[in-house]
Structures are given as C-alpha cells and as structure tokens.
Amino acid sequence: MSGAVYALIVNACVAVLFAATFAVLRASYPQQRATGWFCATYAIGLLTPLSELAIRYTGAPLVFTATSYLSLVLSMLCFTQGVIALSGRRPARAVVPTIAILALAGRMMLDDHARNTIGYGLVFQFPFYAMLLLCTVMAVCAVRQQRDPWWAGLGVVFAITASYFLVKPIFAAVFGSGESMRDYVDSSYALFSQALGGLLTISTALSVLLMIVRSILRTTRAESETDMLTCIANRRGFERRAAAAIATARRLGAPMAAILLDLDHFKQVNDRFGHATGDAVLHAFGQALTCALPPGALVARLGGEEFVALLSGAAPRDAVAAAEAIRAALARLGPGLPTVTVSGGIAELRPHDTLVTLLDRADRHAYAAKQAGRDRIYPPLSSAT
C-alpha cells in the first residue's frame, strides 16, 4: 500500500471527525447557521478521498473520477457559504455560482488535454483557489469592519490554502501527476498533494471551529448576563462590567456615580393588574432607563423591582439630574400601563470604595428617599455637590 493511499485514508477520517463535530454544534446551537454549511463541507468532502481510493481498487475509474471532482467542488461551495454566514457579509450573488459554472465548464474541457501541464492544473484547481481567495477577501472585509484580529488570522489561513491550490499545478508538472487518475493515486505527487492538503484542511477546519466556538461562548455569556424580561444586564453582567468600569475610572482619575432605583409599591401593581402587567411595567422601565441615560451608562436589573445605573464621568449633580429625568420618564411609560413612581439613591465613587460599598451607600440613600415619602431622589439636586 503506497503512502498516498495512507494519506487518503487519513484525510477521509479527518473529514468524518470534522463533519461529526460541526453536526453536533449545529444540533446544539441551531442559531449558528455557519455550522450547518461546514458540516456539509466535510460530509461531502469525504467523498473525494473515498472516490480516489475507489479509482484504484474498482473497475469504474471514470465514475469515481467524476465524483471525486464534483464532491470537492461542492464541498468548497459549502465552505464558502459557511464563511459568508460566519462573517455576516454577503458578496455579489453572482460570484459563487459563476465560479461553480466556470469550474464545471473548465473541467469538461480538460478531458482531451494532457494532465501533466501547468495549464491543465490551473483550470482543474480554479474553483478551489478562486473560492478561497473569495473567503480571504471576506476575512479582510471583516477585519476592517470589526477590527477583530481573529479574522486576520483566519484570513491568513485562507490565503495560504488558496496559494497552495494555486501552486499545485507547478508541482504536478514538475513531479508528474500520472497520465490517468489511477496513475495519480500511486504517484509521489499524490502523496505530496494529499499530505499537505490534509494538513491545510485540518488547519482551516480548526480555524473556523475556533471562530464558531468563540461566537458560541460570547452568545452564551451574553445570555447568562442579560435579564430576559427587561433585556438589560442582570446582576451577574452588571458586577462583571462594573468592576472593569470602576478600575478604568480609578486609572483615569475620572468621577463616577451610581444610581439605585426601586419602583414604589410594585407589589400592588402585581396584585391589582396581574403579573403580566407587572412584567410589562418592568420591561418598559428597563427600556426607559436605557433611553434616559447617556449611551455609556451601565444599566441593570438587580432583581425584583430594583434597578441600578453606573455613570462614568458623572459628578453627583449629573447623576441626580439623570435620576430625575428617569423619574420624569415614568409619566410616559407606555399606553395601557398603570402609573408608577420610583425612589432612588445616588452615591459618588470614593477613593477606597468597592462596588459593594458604593452600592450599599446608594441603597441607603434610596431607603432614605422612601422614608421621606417615596417618588423622589436622595440626595436631592439642591444638596448634591
């Protein structure tokens, strides 16, 4: 058994493993549409090494020559669609179909031409380097738009793999790829082609797999740190982001203030109007918070009817003014919703504060606002310094 045959068997096993991996990801995270395309890439691509093995060990070389090339082209089409889904960018609609049509037309024209020529190889390899160059372009566009170094690394992998397909015809002409597909399987060029191609296949698959896993982790973290009712941060998300914001404020010497807000008599809303209406009030209040505060404010629901906002670069007077704007926004909370009021406490970040002490002081001020009659902010604007 030749080295090329071993390489074909290894490549077939690699295709099975990656097809199964992406299938599991697709079943577990159906919102990740790219995983379906990559699963199809390696499931269809599996037919290529199997077909090339069948060329050697069966009596139907023409049939398996066709399935080898078609499966490779189809797998590259699926891979390109996966990169499109992963990047969120869509090239002109005619680009991918045009490459596929030119590939099939070029392959049909090659039947009467000598295999061991650069021209033959360039036409044969056209769909592979063309689609990988398209993937490289999409990666570059993603880098420019998202400023994401991961896409830069992926673009490098695509460019290297495209270059591999582009220079393969030169090696085929120098080392000889055989007069027929049956001869190809036993050639030294086949060993080079399958070994290096398998290595690049693994590199490319691992690269896109890492991108997908990163996207899944980001989505999972965002979901775990978001309050599903109000669509703002929950306590976990707030504490993680607030710690980073406080560290930045200390490093820059910038002021910071916390606003703790508690809807007044919210239990009565649930008792009188039902929990569905109460949930609608909480959702509307969360959105009102986001709209009333500056874009850089960190807004969260700590639990129940208790909300918090962390304002970077805000002095106490700025925080009180923002809290009063929130209180005023409750008058236009939404049609069909009961009227509610809010009590709030303001606390300025002090040199030795932690997030716990900052929020504790804001909570004590909110309690003082409730004790003073509710529907107010404490300390009031007149006493904020």
CATH (residue range 3-224): 1.20.1070
pLDDT averaged over the chain?
Answer: 86
d(CA 118, CA 298): 61
* pLDDT of the residue at 168: 81
Closest CA to 65 of 178, 166, 170: 178
- Mean pLDDT for the stretch of residues 17-27: 95
* pLDDT of the residue at 385: 42
* pLDDT of the residue at 178: 58
Q: Report whether pLDDT(85) > 80.
A: yes
* pLDDT of the residue at 117: 75
Q: Report whether pLDDT(262) > 60.
A: yes
Closest CA to 37 of 74, 67, 92, 66: 74
- Mean pLDDT for the stretch of residues 198-222: 91
Q: For the CA atoms of 239, 241, 243, 246, what is the dihedral angle to 10 degrees?
A: -130
Q: Report whether pLDDT(227) > 90.
A: yes
For the segment 364-373, what is each residue's pLDDT rounded down to a tens digit?
999 999 999 9
How many residues belong to the chain?
385
Closest CA to 341 of 289, 264, 285: 264
* pLDDT of the residue at 78: 93
- Mean pLDDT for the stretch of residues 125-135: 90
For the segment 280-296, what is each residue's pLDDT rounded down to a tens digit?
999 999 999 998 898 88
Any idea where the domains of the chain sit in the sequence? Answer: 3-224, 235-378
Considering Cα of 31, then 33, then 36, then 41, what sign does the dihedral take? negative
pTM: 0.76
* pLDDT of the residue at 183: 58
Q: How far is CA 97 from the centre of its chain?
A: 26
* pLDDT of the residue at 177: 59
Amino acid occupying residue 205: A
Q: Report whether pLDDT(112) > 70.
A: no
Closest CA to 122 of 164, 76, 169, 160: 169
Q: Report whether pLDDT(6) > 60.
A: yes
For the segment 189-199, what is each residue's pLDDT rounded down to a tens digit?
666 676 777 78
Strand stretches in the chain, DSSP E: 256-263, 298-303, 306-312, 342-348, 377-378
Q: How far is CA 192 from the centre of its chain?
A: 35
For the segment 154-194, what is each residue's pLDDT rounded down to a tens digit?
999 999 999 988 888 777 666 665 555 555 555 666 666 76
Burial of 324 by CB count in 10 Å (0-12 exposed, 13-18 middle, 19+ buried)? middle
What CA–CA distances, in Å, run from 236 to 60, 207, 222?
A: 63, 31, 10
d(CA 290, CA 173): 65
Which three-class secondary structure state does DSSP give residue 343? strand
Specify the CATH number for 235-378; select among 3.10.20.30, 3.30.70.890, 3.40.50.880, 3.30.70.270. 3.30.70.270
Q: Report whether pLDDT(5) > 50.
A: yes
For residue 233, list its beta bridge partners.
Answer: 226, 300
For the segment 228-257, what is each residue's pLDDT rounded down to a tens digit?
999 999 999 999 999 999 999 999 999 999
For the segment 311-356, what is each residue's pLDDT rounded down to a tens digit?
999 988 899 999 988 888 887 787 889 989 999 999 999 988 999 9
* pLDDT of the residue at 359: 95
